Amino acid sequence: MRLTGPGVWGPPSDREEALRVLRRAVELGVNLIDTADSYGPFVSEELIAEALHPYPEDLVIATKGGFTRQGPNAWAPLGRPEYLRQCVEMSLHRLKVERIDLYQLHRIDPQVPLADQLGELAALQKEGKIRHIGLSAVEVAEIEQARVLAEVVSVQNIYNLTRQRHRDVLEYCARESLAFIPYFPLQAGSLAGTGGELAELAKGYGASPSQIALAWLLALSPVTLPIPGTSRTAHLEENLAATGVRLTDEDVAHLTRQWSDEP
């Protein structure tokens, strides 16, 4: 998402840096890149293909469909089967692949029966155009309903230190061995510069506040796969260094209590 223009609309201000971010990520061992056809729209997928195709064998590119774009910061869900099929076909073309490893329904369209939406993705899966199916921005009841209609392997919800309201979804995913992919893991960067207690804790670990926020997510469950977005290689390298930060159980529990937004 961060490799696009303002409002997730149009090309990035520094195209060469965007390409460097993608290439550097793979150099540093990243093997999951999450994107969507609506980022740009289309810009992010096209940059990924330009920077990385032909792809390393172990690289998983996850993309999403089910949104239309009307301008900067404007999004509208559309889950009609024929549109979802078009989304998949166009993502295959832009990413230059014959099969998408993980295809996620970006939003459930409340105007279209879920059986029609998941049924079309399941049909594309049978045709060999999708390997795995995932969901985004869902509640536990919706996941359970979807799993009756198709095999679901992942859930992508907003989740970070200051937004923990989907803890029941995380716990469900851990219990059911589904990947949980928290987006906005740094709350669009606001956690990176947080002062006070988080900054003090970070000093004790020789880390930055953003690294502590990511380390906290990684410590919650083995199924958690944070996807911090960035448009700069320096931020990328800082984010990836969070994998080397091992928080104590006491600090994980304290952060969870201290920052929780749950009622």
Which two tokens mark 153? 């392997």
Residue 234: count other Cβ atoms within 10 Å of its Cβ: 10
Number of C-beta neighbours around residue 34 at 10 A: 23
**Which of 24, 101, 17 minimizes the C-alpha distance to 59?**
101
Show Cβ contacts of residue 34 under 8 Å, excluding neighbours closer than 6 positions. 62, 63, 64, 156, 181, 183, 227
Which positions ≥6 away from 255 have C-beta within 8 Å?
Answer: 161, 198, 201, 212, 216, 247
DSSP state of 53: P
Of 159, 75, 155, the residue nearest 37 (C-alpha): 75
**Exactly one of 39, 83, 159, 183 is catalytic; which is it?**
39
- Whether 83 is a known active-site residue: answer no
By CB atoms closer than 10 A (0-12, 13-18, 19+), residue 159 is buried
Catalogue the active-site residues.
Answer: 39
